[in-house]
Amino acid sequence: MIAALLRSELRKTRSTKLWWGLLVPVALLTLLVNLFGGVFTLALGAGPDAEDRLPLLLASLAYSLALAATFSGVYGAISAAGEFRHRTITTTYLTAPGRGPVLVAKLLVAAGVGAVYALVTAVVGAFGGLVGQESTQFPETGALLGVVAIGAGVCALWGALGAALGTALGNQVTVLVLLLVYVLLGEPLLSLLLTANDSPAVAGISAYLPVNAGEVALYDVPARVLVGPADGAELLGLAAGVSGPPSWWGGLLVLAGWAAVTGALAGVVGGRRDIT
């Protein structure tokens, strides 16, 4: 049942330009970020003063993957809400055994597109790093694959989260504005407010917001490799703009929780919506 709907959603995805229209800026940004890996060093504030060469590519790659995650969310949101904009949702519901399976198929396909964004980012990023970061050391395979795999997870979760939000809101403009304003403005501000709080418990909440949770997952491995396990958490907190971050898998779990909550909301709201 889900397999048939998955095939259908994949065919819908492949027959429009949205997925690669968003993939182009992802690839370009990734190339830029990794060619000039120094961007990330600047973002960290003072560069590490060790004289031995550091695998900075891990960090710039993680940063690119965070960007790809945002684009994954945008893809999910636009594609899911697009069904309402173009009124194709009527046909979609008429050809499916229930709205729940449709939602599941949509979330899975958006997650798949997110994972593809992450893999393209990894390939383009590694290429950019090889070409542009001569002064740095190419990272160990294990750490590199780890960052890529975590990135695929983060992008997949953001794809699903975006699609869930698009289904719940049912309006392309609304969902796009809401998503971008939150990711680019809302959550950074909220994090600033939270981390400025004296109580570590309140400040710690910052790590459990969706964007931050994804960044925690992404920057955990690079931070440890760059400054060692002992200071890794501190650097991670700096990089993700949170205090008291969990480890990468904790971040992934938190993000998965947000995706699940949004998915459930989409199930309830989308399941009841009158399609007139």
Partner 1 sequence: MVANSGRIGTVTSPRGDDGSGRITVHGLTKRFGPVSAVEDLTFAVERGTVTGFLGPNGSGKTTTLRMLLGLVAPTAGEARINGLRFGELPHPARVVGAVLEAQGFHPARSARAHLAACAAAIRVPDAAVGHVLTAVGLDTAAGRPVGGFSLGMAQRLALATALLGDPQVLVLDEPANGLDPEGIAWLRAFVRGFAAQGRTVLVSSHALAEVEQTVDHVVVINRGRCVHQGPLARLRGRPRVLVACPDPARLAEALTKAGLGEIESRRDGRLAVTGADPARVGDVALAAGVAVHGLEAERVDLEQLYFGLTAGAR
Please report, as ranges, the residues that interact with partner 1 according to CB under 8 A.
Answer: 4-5, 7-12, 15-17, 82, 86-88, 90-98, 272, 274-276
Q: Which is nearer to partner 1, 88 or 137 (by Cβ)?
A: 88
Smallest separation (angstroms) from partner 1 to the CB of 45: 45
Q: How many other C-beta atoms can be found within 10 angstroms of the C-beta atom of residue 132? A: 19
- Nearer to partner 1 among residue 9 and residue 187 (C-beta): 9
Smallest distance from partner 1 to CB 5, Å: 6
CA 191/CA 243 separation, integer angstroms: 9
Q: Which is nearer to partner 1, 33 or 77 (CB)?
A: 77
CA terminus-to-terminus distance, the chain: 26
Closest distance to partner 1 from the beta carbon of 41 (Å):
42
Q: How far is the CB of 10 from partner 1 (least distance, A)?
A: 8
| Secondary structure class of 169 (helix, strand, coil) | helix
Which tokens hold the place of 245?
A: 């971050």
Cβ atoms 191, 142 nearer than 8 A:
no
When the beta carbons of 10 and 178 are compared against partner 1, the nearer one is: 10
Q: What are phi and psi of 33, to 5 degrees?
A: -60, -40
Crossing angle for the helix pair 56-85 and 18-35, nearest 10 degrees? Answer: 160
Residue 122 CB, shortest distance to partner 1, in Å, is: 29
Q: Closest distance between partner 1 and the C-beta of residue 6, in Å?
A: 9
Q: Comparing C-alpha atoms, which of 217, 50, 222 is closest to residue 142?
A: 222
CB 135 within 8 A of CB 51: no
CB of 86 to partner 1, least distance (A): 5
Choice between 94 and 230, CB closer to partner 1:
94
For partner 1, the closer of residues 90 and 171 by Cβ is: 90
Q: How far is the CB of 27 from partner 1 (least distance, A)?
A: 21
DSSP string, 101-143: HHHHHHHHHHHHHHHHHHHHHHHHHHHHHHHH-TTSPPPPHHH
Phi, psi of 86 (to 5 degrees): -90, 5
Two tokens, residue 183: 């990711």
Q: Which is nearer to partner 1, 52 or 87 (CB)?
A: 87
Handedness of CA 91, 160, 260, 210 (dihedral sign): negative
